[in-house]
Structure 1
Amino acid sequence: MKLNQQTLEGNWNEIKGKLHERWGELTNDDLQKARGSVDQLVGMIQKKTGEARDKVEQYLGEVTSNGATGVSKVAEAVRSYAGSAAESFGDARGRAGDAMRGGYSQTERMVQQRPIESLAVGFGAGLITGVVLGLVMRSR
């Protein structure tokens, strides 16, 4: 992977840590001066360490491709989790729909088997709801 300024800026903290691990003679000031420019960073590392330019560029490419791989792994994990969450939500929605249909069928059978009791329960529930709403409206 060819290192560019955007990759350098996006993964700067990780890259800086890896550079300190590899070349301990690099100071934070050195790295801060070269932060925005790939060419300055490579040149500064060459000057401080005596390492060949192609070796420095190769190492930076490895560091940034490993960082990109880590980001892609995290992104894949997030996509996988979102997919399983959507699947779980779909399952729960299906179960809730089944339960609602079952409750509706059970209520329908109850009304057919006991129409008078069902009418009395419906009337009582309506009456209680009306009284509660009347009290709420009066208190305003």
Structure 2
Amino acid sequence: MMTRQELEGHWNQVKGSLREKWADLKGDDLDAAYGDMEQLIGVVQEKTGKTRSEIENFVEDIIAEGTAQADSATDKVRHYANEVRNQAEQYTHDASEYAKNQYENASHAVHDGYENVQGVVRKNPLESIAVTFGAGLIAGVIIGLTSSRRG
């Protein structure tokens, strides 16, 4: 025997199926029995003359079908959610690998640049000092002029 919650949860489906099977049933007749299996059976018996077990079996089949459809929909949603999660994990992994490769490439480029600068400084130490001093002097003048204009 089904519970009141099951009957209420599937009420629209039960009501529609009952009216489809037995055209003598009116929506108002069925609405009076909302959630009450005993009252529903009484209304259907009165209007159709069908047996209690025939009505119970019919309603239970409707609810079982509705539950199976709900379970199927839940399974589909669960499957889709798993697919989305798997794709997100793959994208995260790919992005992580890409970032790691970019970091390694940048690290190698900085290291190579550092070695090149060291080579130039070792070959031309005086010129390197003069260029560095000149660049610092020019930067200082530009900063000084910019600061004095704002103040």
SS at match of 1:36: coil
Structure showing greater radius of gyration is: 2
1:31 aligns with 2:23: no
- Structure 1 residue ranges without an equivalent (≥5): 119-140
What's the counterpart of residue 46 of structure 1? Answer: 45
**Cα separation, 1, equivalents of 2:116 and 2:30:** 83
Local SS of the residue matching 1:34: coil
**Counterpart mapping for 1:1-140 below 5 A:** 2-115=1-114
Q: What SS is found at the alignment partner of 2:69?
A: helix
Q: CA deviation at 1:109?
A: 0.6
Aligned-pair Cα RMSD in Å: 1.6
Please give the per-residue CA displacement for 1:47-72, whole angstroms capped at 9, x wherever unaligned: 11000100000000100000000000
Q: Which runs of 5+ in 2 are unaligned?
A: 118-151
The one-character-per-residue Cα deviations of 1:8-37 (angstroms, maximum 9, x if unpaired) are 111111111111111111001101101120
1:117: Cα distance to partner?
9.2
| Cα 1:16/1:117, change in 2 over 3 Å | farther
* Deviation of the 1:115 alpha carbon: 2.5
In the superposition, the TM-score normalised over structure 1's length comes to 0.80
Maintained 8 Å contact 1:3/1:60: no
Moved over 4 A (4+): none
Distance 1:112 1:4, change over 3 A: same
- Counting matched residue pairs gives 117
Letter in 2 for 1:17: G
TM-score by length of 2: 0.74
Cα distance in structure 1, aligned partners of 2:78 and 2:50:
41
